Amino acid sequence: MKEIRVRFAPSPTGALHIGGVRTALYNYLFARQHNGTMILRIEDTDQNRYVPGAEAYIIESLKWAGIGIDEGIGVGGPFAPYRQSERKELYRKYADQLIDSGHAYYAFDTEAELEAMRDRLKKAGVDYQQYNSVTRMTMRNSLTLPASETEKLLQSGVPYVIRLKVPETGEVRLQDLIRGEVVVQMHELDDKVLMKSDGMPTYHLANVVDDYLMRISHVIRGEEWLPSAPLHVLLYKSFGWEADMPQFAHLPLLLKPDGNGKLSKRDADRMGFPIFPLTWTDPGTGEKSVGFREAGYLPEALINFLAFLGWNPGTEQEIFSMKELIKAFSIGRIGKAGARFDIQKATWFNEQYLRSKPESILAAYLADQLVKKGITCSPEKILKIVAVMRERVSFPKDFYEQGQFFFHAPQTFDSTVIAKKWNADTVKFIRVFQESIENIEQFNAETIKTAFEKTAADLGIKTGQLMQVLRVAITGSASGPDLMMTLEIIGRQETLNRLVFALSNFNVNAASS
RNA sequence: GGCCCGUUCGUCUAGGGGUUAGGACAUCAGAUUUUCAUUCUGGUAACAGGGGUUCGAUUCCCCUACGGGCUACCA
C-alpha cells in the first residue's frame, strides 16, 4: 500500500482560525492512524497578505493543541523547503512545462481589459463571465497574438501571467472520499492564472506541484476548495501525473452558532467566545483576540470537541483522548453537512477534562493564579479549596475567580437574600452560633455542622432559612461550595470576623429596606 | 445570476426500506445535597415539502424550497 502522507497547508495571513485547527487535526489523526507522515507546509504565495508572526503562531498553536508535525516547517525533511515563497523558481519550471506541452499560455491583458471583458459578458447575459475557451480568443494572449508578437512582449518586460488552457469540451470527474463523485463540465471551468505577474504561482499551481513533489497521498481540506478541485485534477492530468494524484476529502465547514453563514471572528466576538487557539494581536490594527488557551480551554477538551464537529465514531462514547481519536478516526465517518459551532458543548468537554485531572494539577492552576495576584496561601489550604471547588468549575481560572472569598472577606453581599432572610431570628441565630463555634475544640467541617445544627435546634429555627444567610455573611454570595467546608478552610478567626461584620452591617440594610 | 455541495430533536449527531427513530449538549421536572452547584432518575423535542419506485419510505430516485461554498494575478 502507498505510504500515507498528508499535509496541513495554511497561509500565514493572520491567526489560525479554529476551523483550520480542525482541518489540521483530521489530517493528523489520519496520518497517525496509518503510520503516515503529517506535513506542515506554508502557502505564502500572496505577498500582499503576508502577516509577520503568523507562521510562528501557527506552529505554536499546533504544538499547544497536541497536533504533531513530522515533516515540514519547523521540522525539516527530505522535500525542503516547505515554504512556497522559497520554492518560487520551481513553479516557474513547471509552468513552462505546461506552456511547452500546450496546456498553458501567456496572457498580457491588463486589469482594465479583464474588467471590460467581464462587463461585456455580463451585459450580454452570459452565465460565465470568465476567461475561458471562448473568451480567450478575444483577449491579448499567446493564443491570439502572432508568435513573434508574443516573443516581443515577453522580451520587453511587460507584465504577464500564465494561464491554464482548459479544454473546450468534456468533463472532469473526481472521486471525493466524503462526497463521492463530483462532475464538472470543462466549459464551466475558467482559464485560471497559474503564474502571477509578480512571478509567484497561484495556489492552484503551487498546491498541485507541491503535493505531487512531496508525494502527498491524501488532500484533506475545507469544503471551500471543492469548486476548484476539478481544476486541480485537470492540472494533474495536464502534467501527466494522474497516476500519482492524491485522493481528495473535502471537509464540511464550521457554521455560525446562530443565523446563517460560516463561523467568523465577528460571531465569536459578538457572542463572547474565542475563535483562535491562542491569543493573537493583529500587528496591523493592534486588536487583541483572546485565544482558547488563554480563555482556559484545555487542549485535550478543545481537540475532543473539534473532532466531533463533523465526525463521530458511531458509538456512544463521547470522551476521546488523542490516542483514542487516532484509533477510532476514519474519513468515511465524516459528515457532509456543515456543523454549527456550539461553545456550550466545548465548555462541557472542558468541565469533563478538568474534573478528571488529579488534584495536584488543579492545585497548581490555583497556585499559579495566586502567585499572579500576589496572594500567599499554604499548599494544604489550596488542596482543600480545590477539593471543594472541583465539581463546580468550568475553567482553571474559576478556582480563583469563584473562590475569592477564601482569600478576602467579601466586598459585596447578595442583597436579595439579606432583604428576604435577615431578620430577628437569623440575627439571634448568628449571635448564638458565634459563641458556639468559639467553643469548638477542633474547628472542622464536621464539628461546625454539629454546632450549626445544635444552635438551630436550640432556637427552634429551620436550618434551611439559616444556611443561605450564613453563606451570604461568609462569602457574599447565595451559592457556592459546601458551606461547612468553606468555614473550615477560612478558619475560625476569619469566620468570626465576617460574622461580626455581618451583624453590624446587615442590620443597617435590614433597617433601611 | 451561474456552478458545486448539503438538509434527522434548539445544537452535535446515530441509524437506515418495516425501529417505541438512539445518544450527547442545552432545556424542563423529580430525587439526593438541611442552600447553590455536582450527581442520579425521568420528561419535552427531529427525519424540510411535493412527487415517484415499493406491499411498505425517514431511508432509494426526481423536483421544489431552504442553507452553505465558489465565482480574483486570495488562499
Tens of pLDDT along A3-16?
999 999 999 999 99
Instruction: Quote the CA–CA distance of A81 and A178 in Å, as a whole number.
Output: 31
Give how far the C-alpha of residue A11 lies from the chain's centroid of Cα atoms, to the nearest Å.
16
My answer on whether A488 and A414 are in the same domain is yes
The verdict on residue A80 lying in a domain is no
pLDDT beyond 60 at A509:
no
Considering only the C-alpha atoms of chain A, give the largest distance between any 2 of them, rounded to a whole number of Å. 111
Q: Is residue A210 part of a domain?
A: yes
Q: How far apart are CA A406 and CA A400, in angstroms?
A: 9
In a domain, A505, yes or no: yes
Residues A121 and A150 grouped into a single domain: yes
A371: Cβ–Cβ under 8 A, 6 or more apart, which residues?
A: none
In 10 A of CB A112, how many CB atoms? Answer: 8
Please report the pLDDT score of residue A426 as a whole number: 86
Place of cell 483572546: A290
* Nearest residue to A261 (alpha-carbon basis) of A3, A513, A19: A19
What CA–CA distances, in Å, run from A392 to A188, A265, A273, A313, A337?
Answer: 57, 29, 20, 29, 35
pLDDT of residue A513: 36
Nucleotides of B under 7 A from a protein CB: 1-8, 10-15, 22-26, 33-38, 67-75
Protein residue closest via CA to C1' of B12: A309
Is the distance from CB of A220 to CB of A229 less than 8 angstroms? Answer: no
**A110 nearest nucleotide via C1' and CA:** B73
Bridge partners of A289? Answer: A280
Task: Give the closest residue to B10 (Cα–C1′).
Answer: A258
Report the alpha-carbon distance of residue A267 to residue A260 in Å, rounded: 11
Q: Mean pLDDT, to the nearest integer, of A329-345?
A: 95
| Nearest nt (C1') from A351 Cα | B38
Mean pLDDT, to the nearest integer, of A182-193?
Answer: 93
pLDDT above 50 (res A32): yes
Domain ends where: A287, A322, A355? A355
Does one domain contain both A177 and A213? no
Between CA A500 and C1' B32 the distance (Å) reads 34
DSSP state of A246: P
A293 in the same domain as A232:
no
Q: Are A256 and A340 in contact (CB under 8 A)?
A: yes
Q: CA-to-C1' distance for A392 and B51, Å?
A: 54
Between CA A140 and C1' B3 the distance (Å) reads 26
DSSP A279-304: -EE-TTT--EE--HHHHT--HHHHHH
Q: Which nucleotide, over all strands, has the C1' atom closest to the CA of A391?
A: B38
Going by C-alpha positions, the residue among A179, A174, A177, A175 that lies closest to residue A337 is A179
Nearest C-alpha neighbor of A16 from the set A48, A51, A68: A51
pLDDT classification of A462: cutoffs 50, 70, 90? confident
> Are residues A485 and A429 part of one domain?
yes
In a domain, A78, yes or no: no
**H-helix or E-strand containing A185?**
strand A180-185
* pLDDT tens per residue across span A64-118: 999 999 999 999 999 999 999 999 999 999 999 999 999 999 999 999 999 999 9
A147, A166, A195 - which closes a domain? A195
Question: Residue A426 is part of which domain span?
Answer: 409-512
- Do A69 and A211 sit in the same domain of this protein? yes
pLDDT for A510 equals: 45
Q: What is the torsion angle, in degrees rounded to the nearest 10, for the CA atoms of residue A11, residue A44, residue A99 and residue A110?
A: 100
Whether residue A49 is predicted with pLDDT greater than 70 in this model: the reply is yes
CA of A289 to C1' of B28 (A): 36
A388-447 pLDDT, tens per residue?
999 999 999 999 999 999 999 998 888 888 878 888 888 889 999 999 999 888 898 889
The answer to whether the beta carbons of residues A215 and A3 sit under 8 Å apart is: yes
Burial A470-492 (b: 16+ CB within 10 A, else e): bbbbbbbbbebbebbbbbbbbee
Q: Which three cell numbers stand for residue A40?
A: 506542515
pLDDT of residue A503: 87
Q: Which nucleotide is nearest to A450 (CA to C1')?
A: B34
Nearest to A366 by CA among A317, A401, A331: A401
A210 and A69, same domain (yes or no): yes
CA A398 to C1' B69, whole Å: 39
Question: Which protein residue has its CA closest to C1' of B15?
Answer: A314
What is the C-alpha to C-alpha distance for residues A410 and A414, in angstroms, rounded to an integer? 10
pLDDT at A421: 81
Same domain, A212 and A168: no
In a shared domain, residues A30 and A179: no
Given phi > 0 = left and psi -120 to 50 = alpha, else beta, which region is A65? Answer: alpha
In the structure, how far is the CA atom of residue A345 from the C1' atom of nucleotide B43, in angstroms?
21
CATH number at residue A228: 3.40.50.620
Cα–Cα distance for residue pair A329/A311, rounded to 1 Å: 8
Q: What's the confidence (pLDDT) of residue A1?
A: 62
Residue with minimal CA–C1' distance to B38 is A391
Q: Is residue A330 part of a domain?
A: yes
* Active-site pick, A262, A265, A357, A381: A265
- A76-82: long-range contacts (C-beta < 8 A, 24 or more apart)? A77/A39, A79/A213, A79/A214, A79/A215, A82/A39, A82/A40, A82/A41, A82/A42
Distance CA A482, CA A497 (A): 20
CATH of residue A343: 1.10.1160.10
- Whether residues A426 and A505 share a domain: the answer is yes
Question: Do residues A423 and A496 both lie within one domain?
Answer: yes
Residue A278 to residue A295: CA distance in whole angstroms: 9
Grid cell of A510 as nine digits: 435590614
Contacts of range A170-174, beta carbons closer than 8 Å, 24 or more positions apart: A172/A230, A172/A231, A172/A233, A172/A234, A173/A230, A173/A233, A174/A229, A174/A230, A174/A233, A174/A248
Which residue is nearest to the C1' sugar atom of B13, using CA?
A312
What is the pLDDT of chain A when averaged over all its residues? 93
Verify that A417 and A450 share a domain, yes or no. Answer: yes
From A19, A10, A7, select the one nearest A42 (Cα to Cα): A10
Measured distance CA(A217)–CA(A227) in Å, rounded: 20
Query: Nearest nt to A44, CA vs C1'?
Result: B75
Q: How far apart are CA A47 and CA A321, in angstroms?
A: 39
Q: What is the CATH number of the domain that holds A494?
A: 1.10.10.350
Residue A512 scores a pLDDT above 60: no
- Give how far Cα A224 sits from Cα of A96, A254, A341, A427, Å: 28, 11, 17, 67
pLDDT of residue A507: 64
In-domain check, residue A79? no
| Residue type, position A342, single letter | D
The verdict on residue A84 lying in a domain is no
Based on the structure, what is the number of domains in chain A?
5
Exposed/middle/buried for A93, CB within 10 Å: 0-12, 13-18, 19+?
A: exposed
The pLDDT, as a whole number, for residue A425 is 84
Mean pLDDT of A138-155: 96
Q: Does the annotation count A421 as an active-site position?
A: no
Domain membership of residue A81 (yes or no) is no
Q: Which nucleotide is nearest to A315 (CA to C1')?
A: B14
User: Which of A339, A335, A315 lies closest to A327 in space, CA to CA?
Assistant: A315
How many Å apart are A338 CA and B12 C1'?
11
